[in-house]
Amino acid sequence: MKLFPALRRHALPAGATLLAVLVCAWALSRQARAVAPPTRPAAAVQVTTSAVQLRDMPVFETGVGTVTALQTVTVKARIDGQLDQVAYGEGQDVKAGQLLARIDPRTLQAQLAQAQAQKAKDSAQLASARADLQRFTTLVAQDAATAQQLDAQQALVGQLSAALQADAAAIQFAEVQLSYTQIKAPISGRVGARLVDVGNIVHAADAGGLVVINQVDPISVVFTVPDGAFQAIQKAMQASKEPLAVLAYPRDGDQPLGRGELVLVNNQIDTSTGTVQLKARFANPQHLLWPGQYVNMRLVLGQRAQALVVPAAAVQRGQDGSYTYVVKDDQTVASQPIRVAQIQDGLAVIDQGLAAGQRVVVDGQYKLKPGVAIVEAGAARARPGASAAVSAAASAASAP
């Protein structure tokens, strides 16, 4: 019984110490809460936005093509002889009928003179024979000559008339042969490197020829598109009164090299590649297209009227497909799934998921997630507006 008073005496100071510690801890915690600054909301993310707009957009098929000369001619000699003149410069533009080269004409000039002399001789003989025929006709009427003599003279006149016709043909042949000594351009175009120099003997059977002429204005492009596009091309051709428009672009650029028209859809599909071959013709006054050049092609099939258009940079791709960040009324963003019909010239045509007038984020998406507050970047406010860029790009895409 004496033990319990002793325990009471030791427990009272310990309890008082514990209470003092608890009071001190509460006071320190209250003081810390009073000193700590209030929690601030997260800063808004700076982004660039653009409005969803309605635009008429061209519908086209793309392909890769090779520029080819509209016409290519290897100029060859048509007679044998020595080349004594070249009248063109390498790489020069020439016109149809322009003199390119000349073969020594002296031998053919002599042959022409010989044929002309033979004709003159036969013509004189024919005149004499006709005079004799007139005399025999008179003598037969007077019974001074026989009918046999008259018939023989008539036959002689016929022979000499035929000889005169042969002489005329020989003269014409000699003139044609002589004209072949002047080698002229059969088409207008650009000549290449000279293949034969002055002084060489050329032959009509030579395979190489004298020079090659390529017609480069107008010029053509042969290109292919997937065979799945064939039906759409046929429908577009039937619906249009004019040939379908075709645009040619450099392989590493977006500025068109020329606008032409479709002139050929090949009569069969290449089953080995699954493509159909097309051909377009372009006016080429500035020679921006050149034979052998590789180009990207766009065959315009029509227009998509009042399509929903946003900058292509607004389109994001995730595991579930394409999406974009839409700006809500409270200046926060939401992830919106979309369906993209096509992307061209920096613009995306949206089939589903957006409405005209909505604003989408085109720059700064890597910092975003749904619900994050945004603020328009200063660069976007400094310029006329991202929507103006969409308008300009769409106008360029649909320009004729």
**Cβ of 74: how many Cβ atoms within 10 Å?**
13
Q: Is the pLDDT of residue 154 over 90?
A: no
The answer to whether residue 203 is domain-embedded is: yes
Tokens 């310029």 found at:
383
Whichever domain contains 119, its CATH number is 2.40.50.100
* Residue finishing a domain among 195, 213, 231: 213
Check residue 261 and give its pLDDT: 95
Q: Quick one: 367 and 266 in the same domain?
A: yes
Q: Quick one: 170 and 205 in the same domain?
A: yes
- Domain hosting 194: range is 76-213
The tens digit of pLDDT for each residue in 186-235 reads: 999 999 999 999 999 999 998 889 999 999 999 999 999 999 889 999 99
In DSSP terms, which residues pair with 102 in a beta bridge? 85, 182
In three-state secondary structure terms, 140 is helix
Check residue 284 and give its pLDDT: 94
Is there a contact between 198 and 116 (Cβ–Cβ < 8 Å)? no
What is the chain's mean pLDDT, rounded? 84
- The DSSP-derived string for 371-392 is T-BEEE-HHHHHSS-HHHHHHH
- The DSSP-derived string for 334-357 is EEEE-EEEEEETTEEEEEES--TT
Count Cα neighbours of 196 within 13 Å in the Cβ-side half-sphere.
27
The answer to whether residue 95 is domain-embedded is: yes
Q: Quick one: 58 and 175 in the same domain?
A: no
Q: How confident is the model at residue 389 (pLDDT cuts 50, 70, 90)?
A: very low
The answer to whether residue 238 is domain-embedded is: yes
In DSSP terms, which residues pair with 45 in a beta bridge? 374
Q: Quick one: 105 and 175 in the same domain?
A: yes
Distance (Å, whole) CA 351 – CA 87: 62
Q: Quick one: 259 and 365 in the same domain?
A: yes
* Residue finishing a domain among 179, 194, 213: 213
Q: Quick one: 116 and 140 in the same domain?
A: yes
Q: Quick one: 239 and 367 in the same domain?
A: yes
As given in the structure block, the two tokens for residue 276 are 């159909």
Indicate the number of domains in the chain.
2
Check residue 98 and give its pLDDT: 94
Q: Quick one: 325 and 311 in the same domain?
A: yes
In three-state secondary structure terms, 134 is helix
* Residue finishing a domain among 156, 179, 213: 213
Whichever domain contains 291, its CATH number is 2.40.30.170
